[in-house]
């Protein structure tokens, strides 16, 4: 499905600065459903549909990389019903989107600790990663059972093992980055959080050290490609000096 070009596409065409990599904390699904008197899982299903729309809009908006926060290491604290429902939504999403993602040139990858996820979901994740590995139109990264602190612990362990094996003698920032789940990915230029909350919630703390942040009151199921286009336009007005004068 083709989505209309927004204001940000015009900005890209005119050479305005734009983010190559956008990361999104997709917050507000449960609240969106509760406000309407519906079960929270209805909101999560609507949120999954919104992901499809944003993914399709990104290439026309000049975004090459999109990373979305789907399930955190802290989300296991939610009710068993909600967690199981979310895992079912993830499985269905991957199964239904595999063909479409591949056909539309989207490369899909996952970050986070996979061992706690059920085997069927792990297999589906590995399958769509392999199937879309050659795609280049958009790089979509989904964070499932992801926590930034957990990632740093796991990355530090990998780096320590490399030091013990003699592969690394004088560890650097680049060496640690190579041990992260996101090794080979560019750092996000822009991090967006929906729903009005102004926390980073343990999302990409290492990678987003110099990212710009945008907090919007819009709940994720209501976040349209036009909302994204407007935020991308604002990004183009920012002066990013990375510590320089």
**Active-site position among 64, 75, 135, 150:** 75
- Of the chain, the percentage scoring pLDDT greater than 70 comes to 91
118 is in an annotated binding site: no
For the chain, the farthest-separated pair of C-alpha atoms sits apart, in whole angstroms, at 59
Instruction: Round to whole Å and give the CA distance between 14 and 1.
Output: 25
Q: Select from 30, 21, 104, 107 the least CA-distant residue to 71.
A: 30
Look at residue 245 in the predicted model and tell me its pLDDT.
Answer: 58
Chain segment 184-220, per-residue pLDDT in tens: 999 999 999 999 999 999 999 999 999 999 999 999 9
Calculate the dihedral angle through the C-alpha atoms of 162, 130, 96, 81, rounding to the nearest 10 degrees. -20
The answer to whether 113 is annotated as binding is no
Query: Catalytic residue at 27?
Result: yes
Which helix H or strand E contains 121, and what residues bound it?
A: helix 119-131
- The pTM of the full predicted model, rounded to 2 decimals, is 0.90
Distance CA 9, CA 164 (A): 49
- Asked about 75 being catalytic, the answer comes back as yes
Q: Is 73 annotated as a binding residue?
A: yes
Residue 240: the pLDDT is 65
Positions in the chain short of pLDDT 70: 1-16, 239-245
CATH of domain 17-147+188-235: 3.40.1180.10
Name residues whose C-beta falls within 8 Å of residue 42's C-beta, 6 or more positions apart in sequence. Answer: 33, 36
pLDDT value of position 125: 95
User: Does 74 count as an annotated binding residue?
Assistant: yes
């Amino acid at each position: 499905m083709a989505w209309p070009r927004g204001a940000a596409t015009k900005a890209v065409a005119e050479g305005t600065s734009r983010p190559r990599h956008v990361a999104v904390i997709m917050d507000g699904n449960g609240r969106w459903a509760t406000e309407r008197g519906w079960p929270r899982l209805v909101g999560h299903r609507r949120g999954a549909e919104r992901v499809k729309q944003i993914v399709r809009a990104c290439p026309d908006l000049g975004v090459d990389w999109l990373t979305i926060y789907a399930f955190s290491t802290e989300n296991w604290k939610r009710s068993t019903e909600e967690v199981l429902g979310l895992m079912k939504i993830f499985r269905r999403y991957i199964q239904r989107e595999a063909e479409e993602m591949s056909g539309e040139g989207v490369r899909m990858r996952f970050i986070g600790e996979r061992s706690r996820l059920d085997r069927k979901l792990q297999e589906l994740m590995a399958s769509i990663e392999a199937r879309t590995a050659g795609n280049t139109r958009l790089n979509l990264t989904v964070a499932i059972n992801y926590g930034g602190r957990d990632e740093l612990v796991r990355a530090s362990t990998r780096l320590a093992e490399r030091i013990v094996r003699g592969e690394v003698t004088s560890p650097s920032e680049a060496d640690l980055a190579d041990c992260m789940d996101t090794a080979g990915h560019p750092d996000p230029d822009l991090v967006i959080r929906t729903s009005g909350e102004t926390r980073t919630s343990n999302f990409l703390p290492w990678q987003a050290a110099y990212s710009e942040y945008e907090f919007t009151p819009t709940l994720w199921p209501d976040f349209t490609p036009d909302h994204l286009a407007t935020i991308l336009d604002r990004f183009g007005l920012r002066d990013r000096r990375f510590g320089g004068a």
